[in-house]
């Protein structure tokens, strides 16, 4: 199937632009991207799976594009993974080589792989033969909220059908200029934010940070962001009416990865005149629901199911509130399973084949989905990331100064939730910074606690289980 048809007959229209400063940014037209990706695709011929050191750069976009053209499964890697996480992902996915920007020093386990540098200036013919829709396009690793990260296998057909359904919902066309500043190793920034505009034949401008002045000067017709970015943008726009007016000329502001607060909805609407649309999805499902471009969005909801996607709410055991249910889904955008984990794949589905998201929701009168919580209580959403408390607790328990620990998310106006660790020390409490740095060396930096609170004991129930609800959240 033709996943990126605009590259088969490339034009001089700009495909990719990276950088905030007009004097230093890098860009490729569709003709140039076709040449660079075509040359790299030829070098990848015969491979089955490659890792991509997914920095937020033009090189990553070219590398992913080349892998898609070559029919080689790409494993995008967070460049800030801790060595333990990186080692697990590489052992699990077993890539044959790594694609990276020239001159970049790769971390330990990744440096041991054969390496192929990405050259955006190279040129060759784009291969015309592509794998079937059922072939895997990407293996994207989950956040590791319930153990080690799992590799979700996403087919070419799943990616294409999901992006086409989003194009229908958002009236996304070749004329759109998408601007964002998202990481390029997960669904939001990579699938939606890079493959999305390339499939449409439009333009992506990655500006590095969602800064008001940079965004205002970009000419964006569409903007993607996470709540933390929009919260900071709203702060800037309150004192910059010119930037607010320029951003207000965009067609669509889209937020995802966590809930945007009603306060920030109102602030952004007041500044720009635009109502932010929210959408909902997971690594395993791609995007499930979205507020449509032609509809007035309802703050607190994530829109209606996309074309071809089915969403049902299964009543919760012991739940008395009418309308609440466990969110279960099926449709053409769902993953094929977890790599090497048939047990986990089976456990994530109901006997009749629906995927269990782990979220709890309700339908509004308009038919939009409102998410009200997680069935798992240990999921922290901070700065657009979904972070498992248990993973952080295990890392802290490896420190000699930690006897017991409980990690929770505390409401935060900027991050959504900030990570707070309640620590029972083994003796004299170690310095807070020492514990924070300890976690940051083992796990990705965004998983480090923002605060450590020392305590003599953790609250427990009669069975000895820590009751996190009794921990202070102020």
Q: Taking the CB of residue 22, how many other CB atoms lie within 10 A of it?
A: 10
Q: Which helix (H) or strand (E) holds 229?
A: helix 227-237
List Cβ neighbours of 91 (8 Å cut-off, separation of 6 or more): none
CB 177 within 8 A of CB 219: yes
Distance CA 192, CA 184 (A): 10
Give the Cα separation of 284 and 191 in Å (integer).
Answer: 12
Local confidence pLDDT in tens for the 474 residues of the chain: 799 999 999 999 999 999 998 778 899 999 999 999 999 999 999 999 999 999 999 999 999 999 999 999 999 999 988 888 999 999 999 999 999 999 999 998 999 999 999 999 999 999 888 899 999 999 999 876 556 889 999 999 999 999 999 999 999 999 999 999 999 999 999 999 999 999 999 999 999 999 999 999 999 999 999 988 998 999 999 999 999 999 999 999 999 988 887 888 999 999 999 999 999 999 999 999 999 999 988 888 999 999 999 999 998 765 444 577 889 999 999 999 999 999 999 999 999 999 999 988 889 999 999 887 666 666 788 888 878 787 788 789 889 899 889 999 999 989 999 999 999 998 899 999 999 999 999 888 889 999 999 999 998 764 456 788 889 877
For residue 463, the model assigns a pLDDT of 43
CA distance 417 to 408: 9
Cβ-Cβ contacts under 8 Å for 264 (sequence gap 6 or more): 227, 230, 231, 234, 276
Number of residues in the chain: 474
Adjacent-strand bridge partners of 206: 18, 180
Q: Which residues contact 441 (CB under 8 A, 6 or more apart)?
A: 82
Which of these, 322, 324, 346, lies nearest to 336 by C-alpha position?
Answer: 346
Q: What does the block give as tokens for 5?
A: 């048809």
Helices (H), 45-96: 58-70, 83-93
- How far apart CA 58 and CA 146 sit, in angstroms, is 33
Residue 378: its pLDDT value, please? 67
Secondary structure class of 381 (helix, strand, coil): strand
Which strands make up the sheet holding 402-412, listed edge to edge?
A: 402-412, 416-425, 451-454
User: What is the structure's pLDDT at 318?
Assistant: 53
What pLDDT sits at residue 464?
Answer: 55
Distance CA 201, CA 266 (A): 33
End-to-end CA distance of the chain: 53
All domains of the chain in start order, with CATH: 5-208 (3.40.50.12780), 279-374 (2.30.38.10), 379-470 (3.30.300.30)
What is the structure's pLDDT at 163? 98
Q: List, in sequence order, every residue forming a beta bridge with 402; answer none if it has no partner.
A: 425
């Amino acid at each position: 199937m033709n996943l990126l048809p605009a590259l088969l007959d490339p034009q001089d229209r700009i495909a990719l632009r990276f950088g905030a400063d007009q004097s230093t940014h890098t860009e490729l037209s569709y003709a140039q991207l076709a040449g660079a990706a075509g040359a790299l695709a030829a070098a990848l011929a015969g491979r089955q799976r490659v890792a991509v050191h997914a920095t937020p750069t033009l090189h990553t976009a070219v590398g992913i594009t080349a892998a898609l053209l070559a029919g080689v499964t790409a494993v995008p890697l967070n460049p800030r993974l801790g060595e333990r996480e990186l080692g697990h992902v590489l052992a699990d996915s077993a890539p044959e080589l790594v694609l990276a920007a020239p001159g970049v020093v790769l971390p330990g386990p990744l440096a041991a792989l054969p390496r192929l540098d990405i050259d955006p200036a190279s040129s060759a013919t784009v291969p015309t033969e592509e794998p079937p829709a059922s072939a895997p396009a990407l293996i994207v690793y989950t956040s590791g909220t319930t153990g080690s990260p799992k590799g979700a296998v996403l087919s070419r057909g799943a990616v294409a059908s999901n992006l086409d359904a989003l194009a229908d919902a958002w009236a996304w066309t070749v004329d759109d200029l998408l601007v964002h500043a998202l990481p390029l190793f997960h669904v939001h920034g990579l699938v939606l934010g890079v493959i999305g505009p390339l499939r449409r034949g439009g333009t992506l401008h990655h500006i590095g940070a969602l800064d008001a002045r940079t965004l205002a000067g970009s000419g964006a017709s569409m903007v993607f962001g996470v709540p933390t970015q929009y919260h900071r943008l709203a702060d800037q726009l309150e004192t910059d009416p010119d930037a607010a007016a320029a951003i207000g000329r965009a067609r669509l502001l889209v937020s995802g990865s966590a809930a945007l607060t009603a306060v920030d909805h109102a602030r952004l609407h007041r500044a720009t005149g635009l109502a932010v649309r929210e959408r909902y999805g997971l690594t395993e499902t791609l995007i499930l629901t979205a507020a449509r471009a032609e509809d007035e969005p309802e703050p607190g909801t994530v829109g209606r199911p996309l074309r071809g996607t089915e969403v049902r709410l299964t009543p919760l055991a012991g739940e008395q509130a009418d309308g609440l249910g466990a969110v279960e889904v099926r449709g053409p955008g769902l993953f094929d399973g977890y790599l090497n984990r048939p047990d986990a794949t089976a456990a994530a589905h109901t006997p009749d084949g629906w995927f269990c998201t782990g979220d709890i929701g309700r339908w509004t009168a308009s038919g939009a989905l409102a998410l009200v919580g997680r069935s798992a209580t240990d999921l922290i959403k901070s700065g657009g990331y979904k972070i498992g408390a248990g993973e952080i607790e295990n890392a802290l328990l490896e420190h000699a100064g930690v006897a017991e620990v409980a990690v929770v998310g505390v409401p935060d106006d900027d991050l959504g939730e900030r990570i707070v660790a309640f620590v029972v020390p083994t003796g004299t409490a170690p310095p807070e910074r020492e514990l924070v740095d300890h976690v940051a060396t083992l796990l990705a930096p965004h998983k480090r606690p923002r605060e450590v609170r020392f305590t003599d004991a953790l609250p427990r129930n009669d069975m000895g289980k820590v009751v996190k609800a009794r921990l202070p959240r102020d």
